[in-house]
Amino acid sequence: MTSRSLKPALLLVACCVAVSSCASRRVSGVAEPYPDLASYLEARRHLVEREHARRLSSALVLSPEEEAASRRLLALRRAEEARVGAYFPPAHSFLQGETKRLIDTSPLLGVMRRLPKGGILHLHGAAGGDFRWLIAQATYRPDCYVFTGEGQSPVRGTLRLFADPPAGDWRSVVALRDQAPDARAFDEELYQSITLGEQERGAPDIWEEFTNCFRRAWRLFDDPEVRAGHWRRMLDLLERENVQYVEFRGWPADDAIVADARRRGPDFAVKFIPVAGRSGSRERAKGQLALTLAERERDPGLVAGFDLVEEEDESHSTLFFVEEILAARREAERRGFSLPLFLHSGETNRAESENLRDALLLGAPRIGHGLALARHPLLMEMVRERGVAVEVCPVSNQVLGYVPDLRSHPAVAYINAGIPVVISPDDPGLTRHTFSHDYYEAFMAWELDLRELKQLAMNSLVYSAMDPEEKQRALFVWRKRWAEFVRWLNAAG
């Protein structure tokens, strides 16, 4: 061996010895570093405090009344765990009948219904609301028809209203109901055809089933009367759920519907985030962006920004549309306003999620779903540092197969890391649930307490698209409702 080759070899040996020595000291130090139990417990307490200091709600200080309510809530959770026994609902699919039955009969769900939730920042209007109402109203009209043929366009079971009787494989729903031996069973079959339920649990492609449900129902909204009734019913339900503000993914509803929402009083408000489908062409996305600019210019207080929707794994990436997005933002700036992007990103189980990178590069103030964010440590840190909120939809994420057991939801990591999280229902009409079901699942699965529920509700207003004055007013209203909720919870104990 030459002297030139010997020197690196000796350095390597020296480094190995040094590392081994350091490792030995570390191991021996870990083996017994505490002189007694008291010192160990003190070190453990300090570690717990450091970890909790990073949590989402670490800065919140509860009042004595809130501390009492928090203890009451903890007792309710323990009682709920005892009630459900070995069948822990968040660990099982929401589509499974026993899961929903247990949640629907839970006293804790009643608490979640009364919880002042603030706002909803991720809700698809056409997939929200009450689809039983849709069956009861639209399908009893004499101009309602169902497609009984085979094919993909329209898909079998598609419901639609026609001014004149259609030809081909369309059949009158009223006539079919009259011929059915059991009208109630007939209506239940219609409802099942436009929603996801237990019969879809074993579907090889749940997204295909989800899309087909939507395709069967969405043409009913072409009718102004059905559309207005659907939206009015949905807003009524949201108010009952103690929601005071909503941002709908989709195009602005009719002026009359928006006026109806605003007539509900200054304590209730709605905004819209227009969308383009990821499966569409760049030219179509360009057109949707142009329409969004026109709507935002016409009413910037109503139209908050833009989003790309549909299944990420089977559709175009954000990068595919980035040229059109950048051009639209330049055009918005030229006209004197901005175009915020609230992008569905990371709704995937794949190891990589390039859409998350583009969401951050494009300055998105919020990310829709963000399930894959936990697999991108750098992006996760960027989200935390920038205060980018993650719109988490527990029931939807489970129903669509991304998180079979909600105890394993990455939102737990986000909350523990201090990343802003907001809870949302996504498509509750299609998935047969309410916003309170999402809160129940999150509370139970992620072992939340009153402090964290308070922070999540506040986040829904703080990270909304409202302007500072609107946020201040909304938070003022919410704090009054929260105080009433705390008093009710303490009285109920």
Quick: pLDDT tens for 152-194.
Answer: 889 999 999 999 999 999 999 999 999 999 999 999 999 999 9
Q: Model confidence at 54, in pLDDT bands (50, 70, 90)?
A: confident
Is pTM, for the whole model, over 0.85?
Answer: yes
Is residue 17's pLDDT more than 60? Answer: no
- Long-range contacts from 224-229, C-beta under 8 angstroms, 24+ separation: 224/254, 226/134, 226/137, 226/138, 226/161, 227/253, 227/254, 227/257, 228/254, 228/256, 228/257, 228/260, 229/133, 229/137
Is residue 55's pLDDT more than 50? Answer: yes
Mean pLDDT of the chain: 92
Is residue 24's pLDDT more than 50? Answer: no
Is residue 2's pLDDT more than 60? Answer: no
- Long-range contacts from 33-38, C-beta under 8 angstroms, 24+ separation: none
Do you know the residue count of the chain? 493
CA 112 to each of CA 144, 176, 340: distance values in angstroms, whole numbers, following the listed order: 37, 40, 31
d(CA 414, CA 418) in angstroms, rounded, equals 6
Q: Which helix (H) or strand (E) holds 171?
A: strand 170-172
d(CA 299, CA 174) in angstroms, rounded, equals 41
Identify residue 239 by its one-letter amino acid code.
E
- Please write the tens of the pLDDT for every residue from 449-473: 999 999 999 999 999 999 999 999 9
- Bigger pLDDT: 6 vs 360: 360
| Dihedrals phi, psi of 236, to nearest 5 degrees | -60, -45
Is residue 203's pLDDT more than 60? Answer: yes
pLDDT at 30: 52
Identify residue 393 by its one-letter amino acid code.
C
Question: Mean pLDDT, to the nearest integer, of 101-125?
Answer: 97
Q: Name the nearest CA neighbour of 323 among 354, 349, 362.
A: 362
Q: Say how many C-beta atoms besides its own lie within 10 A of residue 2's C-beta.
A: 6
pLDDT at 32: 60
Q: Enter the tokens of residue 469.
A: 């004055």
- Please write the tens of the pLDDT for every residue from 393-424: 999 999 999 999 999 999 999 999 999 999 99
| Dihedrals phi, psi of 371, to nearest 5 degrees | -60, -35
Quote the percentage of the chain above a pLDDT of 70: 93
Strand order in the sheet with 144-147: 159-161, 144-147, 170-172
Question: Mean pLDDT, to the nearest integer, of 57-66?
Answer: 92
Domains and their CATH numbers in the chain = 64-128+224-492 (3.20.20.140), 131-219 (no CATH)
